Amino acid sequence: MFSEPVQSRAEAKVETRARVLAAADRSFRARGFAGTTVRGIAADAGVSVGTVMGVGDKDALLIAIVDEWIAAVHAERATGESLPPLGRDEAIVRLVGTVEPFVTYFNADGDLSREYAAVLARGKHRSRTFGDLGDELQADFERILRAAGHADPGAAGRTLYFVYIGLLFATSGGALAREAAAERLVEAIIQILGEGVPR
């Protein structure tokens, strides 16, 4: 009796949040982060400014958009399955392929990637990228490294995760060209795999 309206309110809140995030994403990509206003997001989403702020300020909205996109990529992957034994070259291809959607996403809009990095550096908002989503990516790395016969796939997966994050930030900040970052990632993978993994 009482659960029906509560459930409807909860569903409405989820739907409103999704509309606000979609409107913010469209505005960030069309107008840039600096050119986007909370008022403009509210108008596009068909909600009040207060409703937008209930979801978050511009910084929080950007983090939520990226986090939800990353979470969707992870959700599409079959992460629980074990892999057959992998040679070094196949492990390299799989490890690079694991991060390829994220690299493509961040490279698609350099200005927005820089804003995302700046928001994270300000430290006011927490990103799932460094929480449960980071754990999922490390687990993906670990699974591949285990199949490649690495002696300590957990430590190797964590190491590769931090190399990858560092390269993303260096690329978004303009300190490293995308092509150079891709080469550095492969170099790091080769070092992490070491000579003990057969080709």
Per domain, the residue ranges of the chain are 7-56, 57-196
Residue with the larger pLDDT of the pair 184 and 76: 184
- 57-196, which class in CATH? mainly alpha
Task: Give the pLDDT confidence score for residue 117 in this predicted structure.
Answer: 86
Say yes or no: do domains 7-56 and 57-196 share a fold: no
pLDDT of residue 3: 53
Asked if pLDDT for residue 90 goes beyond 90, the answer is: yes
Pick the CATH number of 7-56 from 1.20.120, 3.30.160, 1.10.10, 1.10.3470: 1.10.10
Other Cβ atoms closer than 10 A to 68: 15
- Report the C-alpha gap between 27 and 15 in whole angstroms: 18
pLDDT at 6 > cutoff 70: no
pLDDT tens, residue by residue, 150-186? 999 999 999 999 999 999 888 877 888 888 988 999 9
How far is residue 151's CA from residue 189's CA, in Å, rounded to a whole number? 14
